[in-house]
């Protein structure tokens, strides 16, 4: 399936772990950051097309007391260095049981990122590897592209409105509907 053809895309939001970088559970160590193959190229293509870019990431490692916000921020800075730069970062520091509005699949981070970027949620595409990424996008009024990994459940793939085999393919889908924001 493809993205909605009549909606203009002006920004992309990426999940961090298993979308931009190889997932290391609860990673808060910048030295363990390894981009997924093709991530830098895909992000660079979107930036070159004039899209605004952000990252929306659940980081319960903070709530669990396994890392500080500063450690997570340092890890995100390393992702920015290797794959970005990104125009905005939205981090949910809460655990699943906390009931916050920001933790994916809730829409809080997507709405926050839209506001920070000066875009309507409808102008965004969220690219991620699990159903929570898709759920957050749809709940916020954005579009979503699922890029499955071996950890993605089949039910999440079946439920996703748009599925891409690779991050580059997901970005290509968005670029087909893109309107540059940057000059």
pLDDT, position 183: 54
Q: Which of 6, 17, 73, 168 is catalytic?
A: 17
Residue 183 has which token pair? 């000059």
Residue 144 has which token pair? 């979503």
pLDDT, position 177: 87
Query: Has 133 been annotated as catalytic?
Result: no
| Nearest in space to 125 (alpha carbons), one of 15, 18, 40, 28 | 15
Q: Which of 6, 15, 98, 133 is catalytic?
A: 15
pLDDT, position 182: 67
Rounded Cα distance between 86 and 136, Å, is 19
Strand pairing of 124-128 and 88-92?
Answer: unpaired
Query: Has 17 been annotated as catalytic?
Result: yes
Residue 178 has which token pair? 């893109």
Residue 54 has which token pair? 């952000």
pLDDT, position 6: 81
Enumerate residues 6+ apart whose C-beta is below 8 A from 47: 53, 182
| Nearest in space to 12 (alpha carbons), one of 37, 60, 38, 49 | 49
CA distances from 170 to 38, 43, 92 (A): 12, 11, 24
What string of pLDDT tens digits covers the 183 residues of the chain?
A: 578 878 899 999 999 999 999 999 999 999 999 999 999 999 999 999 999 999 999 999 999 999 999 999 999 999 999 999 999 999 999 999 999 999 999 999 999 999 999 999 999 999 999 999 999 999 999 999 999 999 999 999 999 999 999 999 999 999 998 887 765
Rounded Cα distance between 58 and 8, Å, is 27
Residue 132 has which token pair? 């929570």
Residue entry with tokens 């009549």: 6
pLDDT, position 94: 96
**Threshold 0.85, pTM exceeds:** yes
């Amino acid at each position: 399936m493809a993205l909605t053809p009549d909606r203009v895309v002006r920004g992309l939001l990426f999940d961090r772990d298993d979308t931009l970088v190889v997932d290391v559970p609860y990673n808060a160590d910048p030295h363990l950051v390894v981009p997924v193959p093709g991530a830098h190229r895909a992000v660079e293509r979107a930036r070159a097309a004039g899209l605004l870019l952000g990252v929306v990431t659940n980081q319960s490692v903070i709530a669990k007391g396994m890392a500080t916000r500063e450690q997570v921020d340092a890890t995100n800075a390393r992702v920015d260095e290797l794959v970005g730069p990104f125009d905005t970062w939205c981090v949910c520091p809460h655990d699943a049981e906390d009931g916050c509005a920001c933790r994916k699949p809730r829409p809080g981070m997507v709405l926050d990122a839209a506001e920070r970027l000066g875009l309507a949620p409808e102008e965004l595409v969220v690219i991620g590897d699990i159903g929570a990424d898709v759920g957050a996008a749809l709940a916020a009024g954005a579009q979503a592209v699922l890029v499955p990994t071996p950890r993605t459940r089949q039910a999440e793939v079946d439920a996703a409105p748009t599925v891409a085999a690779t991050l580059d393919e997901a970005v290509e889908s968005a670029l087909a509907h893109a309107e540059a924001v940057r000059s």
